[in-house]
Amino acid sequence: MDRQQTLFGRFSADLPSGRLDWIGLRPARREAVISVEQTYAIADLGLEGDRRCQGTPGSARQVTLINAEHIEAVAKLLQREVIDPALLRRNLVISGVNLQALRYQQFRIGDAVFLATALCHPCSRMDEVLGLGGHAAMLGHGGLCARILRAGKIQVGDALVCLAEGERLAE
């Protein structure tokens, strides 16, 4: 286990379960995100129906996740009531757990196992979709990227559970 995994791993035993609130698939670059109730996570590729699934196996950005609570914070910063998660172009909206504490950790949603890899920084396109200041409002609230370690079905309402050391898969 490397230093970063150790640093972030100390939080994993104390994390509550989260909840998958929303799933979005991006069929192609710049195309509208499609909201679905369930999908299949394909190991080492991405989510079935998402453009990232057609990319190079092993990418660290197969799936993107964002906190529902962070979407609410961004909405407040932009003086909006709500923000449609599809505008943010993330795949999964999670509530109830701080995704930042999952960095470099393995977690399960439904039947699939993921590895949180890196922060998902917002791009300048956020000014385009959220209006002026959208990119700045998203800073620090962009979520995480993840790889899929074990394939499986995921659906809205599934729990997100951080895996304990003995439950983790080989990377």
Chain mean position to CA 128: 21
Q: What is the value of pTM for the model shown? A: 0.91
List pLDDT tens digits, range 1-14: 555 555 455 566 67
pLDDT of residue 148: 96
Structure tokens at 122: 């917002």
Q: Of 116, 112, 126, 105, whose CA–CA distance to 159 is shortest? A: 112
How are beta strands 63-67 and 92-95 bridged, if at all? parallel
Q: Of 46, 65, 47, 87, whose CA–CA distance to 143 is shortest? A: 65
Structure tokens at 171: 């990377």
CA atoms within 13 A on the CB side of 122: 23
List pLDDT tens digits, range 67-122: 999 999 999 999 999 999 999 999 999 999 999 999 999 999 999 999 999 999 99
What's the chain's Rg over C-alpha atoms? 15
DSSP 8-state assignment for residue 143 = -
List pLDDT tens digits, range 17-26: 999 999 999 9
Structure tokens at 88: 């943010």
Judged by DSSP in three states, 107 sits in: strand
Q: Where are the domains of the chain?
A: 3-155
Topology of domain 3-155, CATH: M1 Pyruvate Kinase; Domain 3 (2.40.33)
Residue with tokens 């999952």: 102
List pLDDT tens digits, range 149-166: 999 999 999 999 999 877
Q: How far apart are the first and last CA of the chain?
A: 11
